[in-house]
Amino acid sequence: MSGKMIPQRLLFLLTGITLVLILTMGAILAFGAILAAMGDETGSRVLRWIAAGIGIVLAVDLTCLVLGLAVHALEKSDQPPDEP
C-alpha cells in the first residue's frame, strides 16, 4: 500500500474546522446572551437554535476527527517514513 488511508491533510482540515466551529458557536452564544440581557428574547432564541445547529455539525466533525485519528494511529506502515 503506497499511501495512507487517512491523509494528514484531512486531519489538519478536520482540526481547523473544529477550532472554527468552537469559536463560532461561542461567539453566537455570547451574542445571544447579550440580546437576552437587552430584552430581545426572540433574537436570543434564534441565535440559540443556530448555535445548536453548529453544535450538531461540531459533534459530527469531532466524531470524524476521532475516528480518523484512530485509523491513522492503528495503520501499519510497510515503508520507512519519508525523510525531508
**Is 80 within the bounds of a domain?**
no
Predicted pLDDT of residue 67: 94
Predicted pLDDT of residue 75: 81
**Is 35 within the bounds of a domain?**
yes
Output the CA–CA distances (angstroms, integers) from residue 50 to 41, 47, 53, 73, 82, in the order listed.
Answer: 14, 5, 5, 34, 44
Confidence of residue 84 (pLDDT cuts 50, 70, 90): low
**Is 58 within the bounds of a domain?**
yes
pLDDT digits (tens, 9 = 90+) for 29-82: 999 999 999 999 999 999 999 999 999 999 999 999 999 999 988 886 666 666
Q: Count the Cβ atoms, other than its own, within 10 Å of residue 76.
A: 5
**Is 82 within the bounds of a domain?**
no
What's the total number of domains in the chain? 1
* Boundaries of domain holding 35: 8-74
Please say whether the beta carbons of 47 and 32 come within 8 A: yes
Predicted pLDDT of residue 2: 53
Q: Is the pLDDT of residue 7 over 90?
A: no
